[in-house]
Amino acid sequence: MKFNKNLRNIFLILFATLALSACSTAKKSQTSGDVYTGSDTVEYLASGVKDRVFFATNKSSLTSASRETLRKQATYLRKNKKLNVTVEGHADERGTREFNLALGERRANAVKDYLMTYGISGKRISVISYGKERPVNSESTPLAWSQNRRSVTVKVK
């Protein structure tokens, strides 16, 4: 009987551990590869039009989710012909400063190029790289870094 009780306790602990680790996986799944897929830091250009897309470490390629966001931005820009935008390119803090400046520029241009393929004139889009200088999440964690590897489309006032 006592042995059974012990066994039951062990199972309970095991179950609790499993449940906990399931929780932490749920949190981790805010990134895919190491591209941020959550929406904690995301702001909107207009209703339903996200202002930013996220990148993998050292990469500037657009994920399918990013392309979807950018198509919505393009639609919005087509509807608002007088609106000009600046695309800000950013990097996480895990690279050297100068290389990050170049990487941010490359990311911002990847976004600009994509918007242009959807009919937005390059003249309406300026780019600027901030490298690692302007993190959106200042914490030193893989999640924060994934939120910082981003391009943000900002309206020019």
Partner 1 sequence: MKKIIILFFTYLILHSNLNALIKVDITRGNLDPLPIAVSPLHVESASENLESLDTKKLGLNISSIIEKNFKSTGLFNPLKREAFVQKPDIAHLKPRFEDWRLIKAQALVTGKLSVKNNKLKVEFRLWDLTASKEMIALSFTTTPSNWRRVAHIISDKIYERLTGEEGYFDTRIIYVAESGPKNQRVKKLAIMDQDGAKTKYLTLGNELVLTPRFNPSNQMVTYLSYFRNLPRVYLLDIETGKQEVVGNFPGMTFAPRFSPDGKKIIMSFAKDGNSDIFTMDLETRKVERITEHSSIDTSPSYSPDGKYICFNSDRSGLQQIYVMRSDGSNVKRITFGNGIYGTPVWSPRGDLIAFTKVRKGKFYIGVMRSDGTGERLLTENFYQEAPSWSPNGRVLVFYRETKSGAQGKGFSAKLWSIDITGYNERKIKTETDASDPSWSSLLSK
45/101 with CB nearer partner 1? 101
Closest CA to 120 of 67, 149, 155, 78: 78
46/144 with CB nearer partner 1? 144
Residue 99 in the binding site for partner 1 (CB under 8 A): yes
- Rounded Cα distance between 58 and 38, Å, is 19
Residue 30 in the binding site for partner 1 (CB under 8 A): no
Helix axes 64-79, 97-117, angle to 10 degrees: 60
Binding partner 1 by CB under 8 A: which of 95, 118, 124, 143? 95
Segment interacting with partner 1 (CB under 8 A) among 1-9, 22-30, 76-84, 107-115 = 107-115
Q: Is residue 106 within 8 Å of 62, Cβ to Cβ?
A: no
71/106 with CB nearer partner 1? 106
- Rounded Cα distance between 3 and 9, Å, is 10
For 136, residues 6+ apart whose C-beta sits below 8 A from its C-beta are 41, 90, 147, 148, 150
Residue 62 in the binding site for partner 1 (CB under 8 A): no
Q: Is residue 149 within 8 Å of 102, Cβ to Cβ?
A: no
Q: Which of residues 120-149 bind partner 1 (CB under 8 A)?
A: 128-129, 133-140
Footprint on this chain of partner 1 (rule: CB under 8 A): 58, 60, 93-99, 101-103, 105-106, 108-110, 113, 128-129, 133-140
